[in-house]
Structure 1
């Protein structure tokens, strides 16, 4: 006898699939195009976090995907709602983050008639998503959703877009729930492991670079243990500082924007690069300048979760098709035959990194180096740190220590407005964990309205707003190229502390170094979302960088 499945609306079938795939939280802004799904969420074990803007909602889902390794879920309505979320899809695409965006669409009979808020789903999202599909048959919802989860998380993860016609969601069908599809990890064959060992044994100046996604606690632990057994210097890609315990004796710093010149030189002079999780890209290699293009560069081992075309600029001698966890489990078994040639060099690189990340005193009333040293000493080891894009992130990258269990959520595509939504998502995912968001004044106001979501949902992140009344990164470039000709970079700002208090958060302003410690204690002890505005000394753009200094450098050239 054929099993008789209960009759359900398409909206109910959809939400049941989310629960069946282990999703406990979704983010979104409501729309009439998916009311049936909202109705199903009313009684579901899936929490719907209602946000103030689709960009903020999609960033929250992207951050959730980064934090958990499972696809973050976002719902938007058609047209304007959907396109507002596109910025987060670009982030997920470049950062290799699993994300599923569900978009309510016009009824099936209204398509291709320039209907209200109609949009071409594949044309709009195809360049930024791994998969874009529209579910026209409610009975096929389980199939489409299972595929979406698998595609979003497999190989190099990324975003998937599923369109939901409004009338499809109200259809009543009888269909079984789908079983989640497996996500393969790949692996390292014995011959590949032996080749890796041989390349290491023949090297004199190796360097390991960790990046990408699909990192798990086991992967982090195994790769770190392997590096320590071989005294291998370990660097990380841009905004991947949580891939290794920064206190490890083999950790030598981060590449990309704000990196140490000495570490860049180590890349330039390495004779073996082992890149785990991602191939060396333009940010990692300073616009492809750190590695020679004439074939005289280092031997390259690439460990990637999916096959990629051979590199033209830096072809790999060995490519391993494996996730970081599969690679870590394999190489942890390797041990050097004796003392390695580069052990002293690794200690030197480590010492250089420790010196680089130690703040130098600045002659400012509010010394941000000292502020971040205080913050670093006060935060628990498993703190989640979020930030968006801009010069404010340099302090968070350089002077905060990402210890074992800590996490860094930041967009590798340089997307402003990310930090606050990411902090809300992280705080909701684990309310007992400290979450800190570092924001510039420009970056903060791109999604500062999501403080309302934090207060409404009971999230309690701490936000530090570095207020220098300008788009600092662009001002720095401007002063270097067109000194003294300030155009399009100045900002007029509100009272950020009052802004936070208006939402019901704790808010205060700090203008001197001495004020920060007590203000930090009050914010952390408030038990709610909190914001501290840091009044950056006029002219300060970055650690060791001021407008006056840039103008002097330009004048001396």
Structure 2
């Protein structure tokens, strides 16, 4: 199309061409021309949120689910700074996302105008690419490039500032066609080299999940690993990267992992990392696998060449599309490869992920076991950051991909917005937001968004009246000297009711099963307020009294 259009109209037309069917926003006067164009774009559902952090969390979660850029619009200044947390999550989680920010008019720049921020400079270290569009005629060029950058190599966020006067300009512009992410072809010699290394190994292990990981890659890699008996561990908060009932699934790395899995990784003579960056959480501060990993061979498969040898000395770097690598691995002739460790590692994980009574008045491990018995395996678990999440990381068995939406960046307040995005994207599936009390109140207002759009979702709030993770570290480092971690909470059940949710408060283990069963009989938002004892501070069995007595 080359007829005369406003910049706002051109921008929306490009989003439609690129396949965007949903975006998230808090409206701002700085991009009224875009909002006006969306009025005539039924192809795109506009989800109006209550805070810009919720906007970008939802867009990041949507991008993780659709493997295409999640789309967010916010205004300048306060809107941009609020939205920055979701950009940080998208970058550290390797999620494609595009954040559009309404900006001051071009003629007013550098006068510290109303809410003015140098947006490209602010977001440069947080994103793959941050820029500003000065000429409305070039909007198709910028949008095409934004989609390409967001999806190429290691996926990530792009931030584009939109001067409000530019969006009102009426110009002719030539539309660009839909962008398909370029795929790095797999070198056949790399598969031969990998096979030779595996043939020489006695105790190999794979660590998977991350950039470019898809359901297709998951299925093919699982087939490959099961064929040769290769133990497979999931990187931090990538537990749906392989079916948890796979005969070779060894569990997850990160915070509070199975000690037997830790020993298995330490004793491995070959580590095959596929998609994972081997970041700080997955490697326990770069100590589980050290950057130089003496005595271990590292094969690192990643879609972005910039990640290979970036931190880790890599014995065999393979730059490839995850789908192509996994499919080639599944089809490769590995008749001479066979390991017993896969079945052993899976048995160890089954033992580790089986809850046993803790004696707590409200035993979260038993609650998760009840959820496993009650809810479908294709349920989507969404959570932010905090010790509360450890019970689900350890005891929940994740099903199809996507079934885990959790920020590897460790951002609080992610669970409820992510659940809204998941409920909208997958209305046929059970969606659960799990949040701690401190975590929930960072974005609990997005229950209003869930209510507005008729989301069907279960919210579980774990309330121990403290910032539990910080309290745990405090008890370890400065025992009996509490400072800054106590919380005075509202009645979360009443809070949920104010948004039209069905709610109940649970204080004992035996109350959880009937409460869950009744909750699942209701449509819309269901909220379970779980009041727990601070003594039970971590799923690993660590207690407050135990920390103090060390």
Tell me which interval the TM-score lies in, with the shorter structure as reference length. Answer: over 0.9
SS of 1:332's equivalent in the other structure is helix
Aligned to 1:26: 23
Per the TM alignment, residue 180 of structure 1 is displaced from its structure 2 partner at its CA by 2.1
SS of 1:161's equivalent in the other structure is strand
**1:63 aligned to 2:61?**
yes
User: 1:312 and 1:9, CA in 2 relative to 1: closer, same or farther beyond 3 A?
Assistant: closer
Aligned to 2:266: 268
1:48 to 38, 46, 49: 46
2:100 to 99, 102, 108: 102
2:207 to 206, 209, 212: 209
SS of 1:126's equivalent in the other structure is helix
Q: Distance in 2 between matches of 1:295 and 1:216?
A: 28
Q: Distance in 2 between matches of 1:143 and 1:501?
A: 47
Gaps of 5+ in 2: none
Aligned Cα root-mean-square deviation (Å): 1.4
Per the TM alignment, residue 291 of structure 1 is displaced from its structure 2 partner at its CA by 2.9
The more displaced of 381-390 and 543-552 is 543-552
Q: Distance in 2 between matches of 1:293 and 1:34?
A: 46
User: 1:352 and 1:495, CA in 2 relative to 1: closer, same or farther beyond 3 A?
Assistant: same
Per the TM alignment, residue 254 of structure 1 is displaced from its structure 2 partner at its CA by 0.4
Per the TM alignment, residue 400 of structure 1 is displaced from its structure 2 partner at its CA by 0.6
Alignment of 1:230-245 (within 5 A): 230-245=228-243
User: 1:163 and 1:390, CA in 2 relative to 1: closer, same or farther beyond 3 A?
Assistant: same
1:10 to 4, 7, 12: 7
CA deviation map 1:426-470 (0-9, x unaligned): 101121211001100000000000000000011121110000000
User: For the Cα contact (< 8 Å) 1:383–1:406, is it kept in 2?
Assistant: no
What's the TM-score once normalised by structure 2's chain length?
0.97
Alignment of 1:290-439 (within 5 A): 290-291=288-289, 296-308=294-306, 311=309, 314-338=312-336, 340=338, 342-343=339-340, 345-439=341-435
Q: Distance in 2 between matches of 1:292 and 1:162?
A: 37
Q: Distance in 1 between matches of 2:2 and 2:125?
A: 38
User: 1:295 and 1:116, CA in 2 relative to 1: closer, same or farther beyond 3 A?
Assistant: closer
What's the TM-score once normalised by structure 1's chain length?
0.96
Aligned to 2:492: 496
CA deviation map 1:330-383 (0-9, x unaligned): 11112333462x31x322221111111111211112111111000112121221
Q: Distance in 2 between matches of 1:112 and 1:215?
A: 42
Q: Distance in 2 between matches of 1:400 and 1:160?
A: 33
Aligned to 2:467: 471
Aligned to 2:455: 459
User: For the Cα contact (< 8 Å) 2:199–2:337, is it kept in 1?
Assistant: no
Q: Distance in 1 between matches of 2:439 and 2:239?
A: 21
1:143 to 141, 166, 184: 141
User: For the Cα contact (< 8 Å) 2:186–2:319, is it kept in 1?
Assistant: yes
User: For the Cα contact (< 8 Å) 2:65–2:402, is it kept in 1?
Assistant: no
SS of 2:126's equivalent in the other structure is coil
Q: Distance in 2 between matches of 1:191 and 1:107?
A: 54
1:521 to 517, 521, 526: 517
CA deviation map 1:72-128 (0-9, x unaligned): 000000111111100111111111111100000111111111111111012211000
Q: Distance in 2 between matches of 1:312 and 1:240?
A: 21
User: For the Cα contact (< 8 Å) 1:277–1:323, is it kept in 2?
Assistant: no
CA deviation map 1:1-45 (0-9, x unaligned): xxx733211111111111111111100101100001001111211
Aligned to 2:506: 510
Aligned to 1:480: 476
Q: Distance in 1 between matches of 2:513 and 2:150?
A: 42
User: For the Cα contact (< 8 Å) 2:211–2:303, is it kept in 1?
Assistant: no
Per the TM alignment, residue 137 of structure 1 is displaced from its structure 2 partner at its CA by 1.0
User: For the Cα contact (< 8 Å) 2:247–2:343, is it kept in 1?
Assistant: yes
Per the TM alignment, residue 285 of structure 1 is displaced from its structure 2 partner at its CA by 1.8
2:546 to 533, 549, 556: 549
Aligned to 1:123: 121
